[in-house]
Amino acid sequence: MPRYFFTAQNGRRYPDPVGVDLPGPAAARGYAVKALTELLSEMREEFLADESFILTVTDEAGLVLYRLDLSAVRSPTGA
């Protein structure tokens, strides 16, 4: 079973040195969405301070398969 790595960035880089064994790229994409929601829940204040969050999924060779980008854009009214 292939291994996938999930690196988070929000102004700082949080590499995934261990990775996760998953059946294929589609499973890695689903895992990335779940991981992103969990990370944002845990790092809510950091996300709001930086206003961006990136989760990159790579395979064992380091090839980028997916990149999930999330950003928070403030209203021009400052609300």
What does the pLDDT read at residue 78?
A: 63
What does the pLDDT read at residue 50?
A: 66
**Does any domain span residue 65?**
yes
DSSP symbol at 76:
T
Read off the pTM.
0.82
What does the pLDDT read at residue 32?
A: 95
- Our measurement of the distance from residue 39's CA atom to the centroid of its chain's CA atoms, rounded to an integer in Å, reads 8
Contacts of 70 (CB under 8 A, 6+ apart): 36, 40, 47, 52, 53, 54
Distances (CA, A) of 72 to 49, 59, 78: 10, 28, 13
**Does any domain span residue 79?**
no
**Does any domain span residue 63?**
yes
Domain that holds residue 41: 3-71
Run means of pLDDT, 10 residues per run, the chain, 79 residues: 93 92 96 89 71 90 94 73
